[in-house]
Structure 1
Amino acid sequence: MAADKPHGPTAPRATGRPGDASPFALGLLLRRAHWRAAAAATEALRPLGIELRHFAVLLVLVDHGPTPQRDLVTATGSDKAGIMRVVDDLEQRGLAVRKTVPGDRRVRAVEITPQGLELFDAAHVAAQSLTERLVAELTPEEADQLKHLLTRVAYPTDDQT
């Protein structure tokens, strides 16, 4: 019966403002922090001529070595067409190459080039001061604690991925 249902919300409504007590507060804060971090990374990468999507692929290639294009889709959370465009961009700039996988001519693995590795390292240098600005309001201990807590949220111990 409609009369038995409570009128109005049972929990605070989301506002997206500091101090929000809604069930969405943590997600909204994480999203806002992500926007700030992505903006800082974008600013750091712009002079190098790449975008976050390019850096994400380079990161996988540095971390995992030559990687089949289809696996880059999963590793970066992108889609097949998007990965193809990113790998095309990286190849055109000489930062990565596609190679046939021995035993399966249909599969192409993407491999970072020495120039790609050089740019990847330069991105880290460029991002240092911008990253420091992100946590400028925190003490070094608080910044370490934030990183530790976010790692636990992003990679729960029971997560099998």
Structure 2
Amino acid sequence: MADVPRRAGASRATDRPGDVSPFALGLLLRRAHWRAAAVMTEALRPLGIELRHFAVLIVLADRGPTMQRDLADAAGSDKAGIMRVVDDLERLGLAVRKSVPGDRRVRAVEITPRGAELFDAAHVEAVPVAERLIADLDAGETAQLTDLLTRLAYPEDA
């Protein structure tokens, strides 16, 4: 194993407020993601789906029928994971695989009317728990955080 350089006095990365390590922002974003995911999971639980299912429904509601291979990238999953999620969604009657004209090897996934209803219901369920997530922020801070996270997630030069 190669020697690992260590700068004298270098801080160890943490996710505590005020950490100045180069990893601090990423670690804070990870902790914020965990908290947001817990809130979204709470909102989805009464509907009988998980966050991974909802991530696929978001893509399908936004894009319409989507090829499975493209769905994996859009939902932040791998091929095996997306297959399991689509299997679950089909079993629940929330999505359906359909043949793509001109290529019988390829399948597109489409949200069903029941899936669209559940998608809309999830937004209603999410309102009170999402409000708890941002309860310590005022309206201006919420808008600013949304803007900053959007710029981080969708950089102009990417």
State the distance in 2 between where 1:153 and 1:13 align: 24
Gaps of 5+ in 1: none
Matched, 1:122 2:121: yes
Give the CA RMSD over aligned residues.
1.4
Match of 1:149 in 2: 148
- Name the CA shift for 1:140/1:108 in 2 (closer, same or farther; >3 Å): same
C-alpha contact 1:12 1:23 (8 A) present in aligned 2? no
Residue by residue over 1:32-69, the C-alpha shift from the partner in whole angstroms, topping out at 9 and shown as x without a partner, is 10000000000000110000110011111011110111
State the distance in 2 between where 1:91 and 1:46 align: 18
Q: 3-state DSSP class of the match of 2:155?
A: coil
State the distance in 1 between where 2:96 and 2:6 align: 60
Match of 1:58 in 2: 57
Matched, 1:8 2:8: yes
The size of the alignment, in residue pairs, is 154
The alpha carbon displacement at 1:70 in A equals 1.1
The alpha carbon displacement at 1:7 in A equals 5.7
Equivalences for residues 25-44 of structure 1 within 5 A: 25-44=24-43
- Name the CA shift for 1:105/1:142 in 2 (closer, same or farther; >3 Å): same
Return the letter of the residue paired with 2:135. Answer: A
Residue by residue over 1:130-156, the C-alpha shift from the partner in whole angstroms, topping out at 9 and shown as x without a partner, is 111111111111111110111011111
The alpha carbon displacement at 1:21 in A equals 1.3
Match of 2:46 in 1: 47
Larger Rg: 1
C-alpha contact 1:99 1:109 (8 A) present in aligned 2? yes
C-alpha contact 1:95 1:116 (8 A) present in aligned 2? yes
C-alpha contact 2:86 2:95 (8 A) present in aligned 1? yes
State the distance in 2 between where 1:57 and 1:119 align: 13
Residue by residue over 1:17-40, the C-alpha shift from the partner in whole angstroms, topping out at 9 and shown as x without a partner, is 111111111111101100000000
The alpha carbon displacement at 1:111 in A equals 0.4
Gaps of 5+ in 2: none
**TM-score, normalising length: structure 2:** 0.93
